[in-house]
Each structure stands twice: as C-alpha cells, then as structure tokens.
Amino acid sequence: MRGIDTNIVVRLLTADDAEQAQAARRAIEGQEIFLGVTVLLEAEWVLRAGYDFKPAQIAGALRGLAGLPGMTMEEPTQLALALEWMEGGMDFADALHLARSDHCTEFLTFDRKLAKRAKALNTMPVVIP
C-alpha cells in the first residue's frame, strides 16, 4: 500500500500542472493507496485558499477521490460526516475535529461559531469553558 501526500491529491483534483497530474494518476492507478486524514485536512485548505474551491466542490472532489479503486481512507465515516457538515456551513477543520472526537462526552472550544453550529447539528455537547 502506498500513502500519498497533499501535493499528489491537489494535482489529481486540479490538474493545474499537466505533467505532475499525469504522473500522479500513473502513480495511483492499479495501486492500493492510503489517504490519511491529515492529508485531507491540508488538501481542503489548499483547494479552498489556493484554488478558491467552494465547499460543495471540495466535498465532491474528495468524495470522488475516496471512491477511486484501491483507495483506502483513514476514518471514512468521520470524513463523510465532516464533509456533510462542511457543506452545511461549518469550517472543515472544525467539522473534522468534532467528527473525530465522536468517542468523547463533550468537545471544548472558545469558538462560539463552532459551538452554535454544532448545537444546530445535534452533535455531542460543544462547551465553551
């Protein structure tokens, strides 16, 4: 199994460098690929900040990537939930932090916006200490 870095993901999803995009496709074709949560977190930021992708575009791109043959996602259920929450207006990093804390009894933050959005989603209690 091969792990891939954010720059491989970005080349696959944007094809902004034709040579690297082709090399990235060749590198994953027919392979067992591991896509880690940290890579997805960074890829979302790059696509949003560097390429002006909107939440729905990012979610669609990452879901498409996850569906490629041989692709193994770290924590796929949590990722799916975070993408859904992002499409509903939550920051992806916040959504991922919250989804990955699903085994906890509460989530602590000073971010009032996160607490408000989480309450509307009926997630675990998000508490401002």
pLDDT in tens, the chain (129 residues): 999 999 999 999 999 999 999 999 999 999 999 999 999 999 999 999 999 999 999 999 999 999 999 999 999 999 999 999 999 999 999 999 999 998 999 999 999 999 999 888 878 899 999
What does the alpha-carbon distance between residue 21 and residue 18 come to, in Å, rounded to a whole number? 5
pLDDT of 121 reads: 85
CB 85 within 8 A of CB 120: no
pLDDT of 123 reads: 83
CB 1 within 8 A of CB 33: yes
What does the alpha-carbon distance between residue 14 and residue 46 come to, in Å, rounded to a whole number? 11
pLDDT of 124 reads: 86
pLDDT of 81 reads: 94
Q: Model's pTM, two decimal places?
A: 0.89
Please, is 103 exposed, middle or buried when counting C-beta atoms within 10 Å of its C-beta (0-12, 13-18, 19+)?
A: exposed
- Sorted by where each begins, the domain ranges of the chain are 2-74
